[in-house]
Amino acid sequence: MSDLLPPLKPLAIKDRVSLVFVEYGEIDVLDGAFVVLDKNGVRTHIPVGSIACLMLEPGTRVSHAAASLAARVGTLLIWIGEAGVRLYASGQPGGARSDRLLYQARLALDEQARLKVVRRMYGMRFGEEPPAKRSIEQLRGIEGARVRREYQLLAQKFGAAWTGRDYDPADWGTANPVNRALSCATSCLYGLCEAAILAAGYAPAVGFIHTGKPLSFVYDIADLFKFETVVPHAFRIASKSPPDLERQVRYACRDSFRQTHLLEHIIPTIEAILAAGELPRPEAPQDTLPPALPNPPSVGDAGHRA
């Protein structure tokens, strides 16, 4: 049957739609198409090969065929809780490259290289060189103070009530609008960054500023972009206290990702900050597996698009 279907042609991560949220439906592959079936049996087609990340909310079921197709086209599936506050599981599209994992691990284990990477992150985030002769712990403290100040300034700008970053994931309804909006917005950004990290062949758990968590590197990378993409929208929308707060935040994040062309910047940014460690990149083993979906042979010259 698979021989009768056209070959898969997934888009590069930089050319994809950022996020799609799915709730209360069954995801399956019917007639060769990736679809969501609602309780009435109505099909909604999802162009899975052109999406970076599918966020699966409560009430969603996924068939084996759908998970297999998503993996083949390199689309990350993330199972989340209400408004994305909790992450239960995620799929890894394509698998990480061993040479890049070793490179990332060497940088994280070498204290001098890790400090250089952290200093590069600091410079990219704040647009200035970090103070000299500071340890990673000291830089983390300076960064935390600046971030808290940025939250306060945004709260003043949009007239939002702000008492600090505080909420209970087990009791989502008790959180104030700003914290709910921030959690929803950052969950969108985390999903996108995780998809890019995996697509580049790195490990989400091996971080440099954040450590000891399954998504430490995701938090490192997301922090470089969140104040220019999602955080201002979270404060702006929360200041109005709309009844559909989470939905409006998601739409604003989606539009921000598209307008800033974020998917085009994440992987080059990852490579730039890792290069700051100044360690040689390991050569790929000779028996490295080829791409799961290689480009078909072309009959044209090097400049011809197949």
Task: Specify whether 78 is located in the same domain as 185.
Answer: no
Specify the pLDDT at position 209. 95
Q: How far apart are CA 31 and CA 6, in angstroms?
A: 12
- Count the neighbouring beta carbons within 10 Å of the beta carbon of residue 77: 23
Confidence of residue 23 (pLDDT cuts 50, 70, 90): confident
Task: Specify whether 102 is located in the same domain as 55.
Answer: no
Residue 293 lies in a domain: no
Residue 286 lies in a domain: no
- Assign residue 252 the CATH number of its domain: 1.20.120.920
Residue 282 lies in a domain: no
Mark which of 90, 120, 139 sits at the end of a domain: 90
Least confident piece of the model among 151-160, 216-225, 255-264, 284-293: 284-293
Residue 287 lies in a domain: no
Among 82, 109, 111, 89, which residue's Cα sits nearest to residue 24? 82
Least confident piece of the model among 138-147, 170-179, 248-257, 266-275: 170-179
Specify the pLDDT at position 116. 96
Among 105, 87, 88, which residue's Cα sits nearest to residue 96? 105
Main-chain dihedrals φ then ψ at residue 19, nearest 5 degrees:
-135, 150
Specify the pLDDT at position 82. 67
Q: Which one is predicted more confidently, 276 or 92?
A: 276
E strands present in the chain = 17-22, 25-30, 33-37, 43-45, 51-56, 60-62, 76-80, 87-90
pTM: predicted TM-score of the whole model, two decimal places: 0.80
Q: Which one is predicted more confidently, 2 or 163?
A: 163
- 203 in helix, strand or coil? coil
Q: What is the largest CA-CA distance in the chain?
A: 63
Query: Residue 82 is part of which domain span?
Result: 2-90
Mark which of 62, 90, 118 sits at the end of a domain: 90
Q: How far apart are the first and last CA of the chain?
A: 25
Tell me: the pLDDT tens digits for 204-228?
999 999 999 989 999 999 999 999 9
Specify the pLDDT at position 150. 95
Task: Specify whether 197 is located in the same domain as 51.
Answer: no
Mean pLDDT, to the nearest integer, of 299-303? Answer: 53
Residue 8 corresponds to which tokens in the numbers above?
């898969």
- 259 in helix, strand or coil? helix
Task: Specify whether 250 is located in the same domain as 136.
Answer: yes
Q: How far apart are CA 192 and CA 96, in angstroms?
A: 16
Specify the pLDDT at position 217. 95
Residue 306 lies in a domain: no
Residue 86 corresponds to which tokens in the numbers above?
């909790």
The total of structural domains in the chain comes to 2
Task: Specify whether 68 is located in the same domain as 163.
Answer: no
Specify the pLDDT at position 1. 46
Share of the chain above pLDDT 70, in %: 83
Q: Is the pLDDT of residue 122 over 90?
A: yes
Residue 294 lies in a domain: no
Q: Is the pLDDT of residue 53 over 80?
A: yes
| Average pLDDT value over all residues in the chain | 85
